[in-house]
Amino acid sequence: MPTAKEHILARVRANKPADRPLPDMPTYDAEVDLDLPLFTEVIGGSKGKVMAMEDLPGYLATNFPDAKVIASTVPEIPGNIDLAAVKDPLELALVDIAVLRGRFAVAENGAIWVTEKEAVIRVLPFITQHLVLVIDGGVVPTMHEAYKSIDIAETGFGVFIAGPSKTADIEQSLVIGAHGPRSLGVVFV
């Protein structure tokens, strides 16, 4: 009896078409100067907000005055939980605000690369009620440059985040804050 693996692979071999070449990946001209303004516009369209580091404390105080649990890996914003001591991701269920680092941003679509290293605990950027990403790697024009500059397998988990969580599953009405964060702030340093 062949295993399922052998069976499937044998069928693929018997049925696959003649070889078709893998295309070369071209490079596209991007206007690098426009990257930051473009990113700001696109992420704004997805309800993310770009601000300066000096405005971040005020932004948090004004928008989330009732926030109690703050997780932060950024010295400018002191957190009040010790992420290194978290044993079970369930302990993060009550996080109101997470301020984490993001590696770099992508101008064309507002995406920000965050790996397990920056997230500390994988679920943190998702379970928090509000998220702020502090980016020190600048902006690249498109996903082509983005994937060129990272090793997606460097850590066990990595994610492009392009806004607060959202849904339009009820009559296509946009609602921000589906299961993940209800807001996204972005700071470039």
Partner 1 sequence: MQNHASRAATFLKDDARTDWHNNTLWHVRSKRDKLVHGIPEWESIRQLGSDIKDNVLSNLDTYLEQFVAKAEANGVIVHWAVDAKEHNEIVHGILARHKVDKIVKSKSMLTEECHLNEHLEKHGIEVVDTDLGERIIQLKKEPPSHIVMPAIHLKKEEIGELFHEHLGTEKGASDPQYLTEAARGHLREKFLSAKAAITGVNFAVAETGGVVVCTNEGNADMGVHLAPVQIHCMGIEKVIPRAEHLAVFTRLLGRSATGQPITIYTSHHHRPKVGGEMHIVLVDNGRTKQLGREDFRNSLKCIRCGACMNTCPIYRRSGGHSYDHTIPGPIGSILSPGKDLKKNKDLPFASTLCGSCSDVCPVKIDIHEQLYKWRQIVSEEGHLENVKSIPLAGAGAVLSRGGLYNFMGKAARTALKIAPRALIYNQFNAWGQSRELPEVPKNSFKEWYAKNRKDA
What is the bridge-based pairing of β-strands 97-102 and 105-106? unpaired
Instruction: Answer yes or no: are the C-beta atoms of 123 and 87 closer than 8 Å.
Output: no
* Shortest distance, position 58 Cβ to partner 1, whole Å: 26
Confirm if 121 and 68 have CB atoms less than 8 A apart.
no
Question: Binding of partner 1 at residue 179 (CB under 8 A)?
Answer: yes
Subset of 132-161 contacting partner 1 (CB under 8 A) = 142-144, 146-148, 151-153, 155-161
Q: Which is nearer to partner 1, 54 or 88 (CB)?
A: 88
Name the segment binding partner 1 (CB under 8 A); options: 49-57, 58-66, 73-81, 87-95: 87-95
Nearest-CA neighbor of 112 among 43, 34, 60? 43
Residue 168 contacts partner 1 per CB under 8 A: yes
Q: Does 110 bind partner 1 (CB under 8 A)?
A: yes
User: In whole angstroms, what is the distance from residue 135 CA to residue 138 CA?
Assistant: 7
* Binding status of residue 85 toward partner 1 by CB under 8 A: no
Residue among 77, 180, 183, 187 that touches partner 1 (CB under 8 A): 180
- Cα separation, 54 vs 40, in Å, equals 17
Under the binding rule (CB under 8 A), the answer on residue 117 touching partner 1 is: no
Q: Position 42: which residue type?
A: V
> Backbone phi, then psi, for 119, in 5-degree steps?
-75, -20
Number of residues engaging partner 1 in binding (CB under 8 A) = 72
16-35: which residues touch partner 1 (CB under 8 A)?
Answer: 16-23, 25-26, 28
Six-digit token string for 93: 């269920």
Q: For partner 1, which stretch binds (CB under 8 A), given 41-49, 62-70, 71-79, 95-103?
A: 41-49
Residue 127 interacts with partner 1 (CB under 8 A): yes or no:
yes
CA distance 10 to 159: 35
185 part of the interface to partner 1, by CB under 8 A: no
Side by side, the strands of the sheet bearing 112-115 are 112-115, 105-106, 139-140
Interface pick for partner 1 out of 79, 137, 138, 177 (rule CB under 8 A): 177
